[in-house]
Structure 1
Amino acid sequence: MHDAVRAVIAEHGSAHVTIAEVAARSGVHPATIYRRWGTPAALVLDVAVEHVNAASPLVGTGDLREDLSAYARSAVEGVDRPGGLGFLRAIIAAVEDPGTGRDRALQLIAPRVERIQALLDAAGPAAAGLTPADVVDGLIAPIHYRSLLTGTADLAPADVARLVDNLVLLGRARQPRVRDEPDPLAG
C-alpha cells in the first residue's frame, strides 16, 4: 500500500493522491483503504510517519542533552533535503482535511510521539519534567518554522545547542526540588 502511495506522490505530488489510484496500483479494493485510513490525506500522513521514522530514528542513549542534540541535527538535515518538509505538510493537510481532522491526524502521528517518549524515558530523571509536546514545541517547531519562512533550517551548532539548552532547562524547572537542594536555575 505504502509503495503505491509513494509512487503516486513521486508522479503527481501528495496533493493528488486518490484512494482509487492507490487501490488500483496496490491491487486492494478502495473500500479496504477507506476503512483503514478514511481519506487520502490520512493515507499520505501514514506514509510520511513511516518515512520520517525510518529516515530519522530517535535513539535514547540516556544522555538527554546529546539525544536531543542528535534529534535536532537530524531534523535540520531532514528539512533541508528536497521534500524535507513533507512530513509537516502531510500533518497540516490531514488536520485541515475535514474527513481526517485533528484527532485522526494525532492518532496517525502517535508512532513518532511514542519514539520521542521513549527517548525521554531513556534519559530517566533528567527528562522527568518534559513531555513529547515540549520536544515538539521547543525543538522541532522552531526548526520547521524557520525552514518554512526562509526555505532552509540552516541552524548553526550554537543555535541547536541553545534550543536544546532551553528544553533541558524547562524540564529542570518543572522537576520538584528537595527543600535543601540548590536551585539549578539560580545564577
Structure 2
Amino acid sequence: MRPKPKDSPHPKIFSVSAAAAASVTAAFALTKSGVFDFNRTEDSNLKVIQNNGSQHDLSIEINAIREENKVLESALEDVIAENSSLKGKVDETANTYADLSKELHSVQGQLVAERSRCTKLEAQIGELHKILESLPSIEEEVLLLRSQKTALERDMELGAAVQRQSSGGVWKWIAG
C-alpha cells in the first residue's frame, strides 16, 4: 500500500558523476605512481601477444587508452579548478562568519548594557510612582500648613495692631 517512489533524474546524474569521480581517482593514482611510457609498454604488450600468436591489433586499444587518459586528465584539471574555487568560497564564508561572529558579540554586549539601563530606569520609575502615590497626602498637608500660616499671620497682624494701639497710648501719655 506504499506509494511508489517517483523516478528522479538525480540518480542517473549521481551514477555518472560517481563513475567520473572513480575515473578521475584512478587517473590521479596513475599519475601519482609515475609517468607511463606507452611506447615501451606498447612494445612489450605487442611482443607478448605476437608471441601468443594472436593477431589482435593493440594500437587501436592503446590509442583509445591515450584518448581516455586525455579525457581523464582534463576532468582532473576541471576537478582541481573547481576544488580551488570551492576552497576560495569556503575561505570567504569563513571570513564572513568571523566578521558576523564579532558583530554578534558586539551587539550582545550592547544588549547587556541596554538591559542594565532598562533595569535602572524601571527602578527610577518605581520610585516616581511611589512619590506620585503620596502626592495627594502631601497636597493635603500643604493646604493645612497654608491655612495654619494664614491664621498665624492674621493673629500676628491683630496682635501688632493691638500693640500699636496700646503702645501709642503710652507714648502719648509720656509725651503728653
Larger radius of gyration: 2
**Where is the helix percentage greater, Structure 1 or Structure 2?**
2
TM-score of the pair, normalised by structure 2:
0.19
- Flag the structure with more relative contact order, 1 or 2, with Cα contacts below 8 A and sequence separation at least 6: 1
TM-score of the pair, normalised by structure 1:
0.19
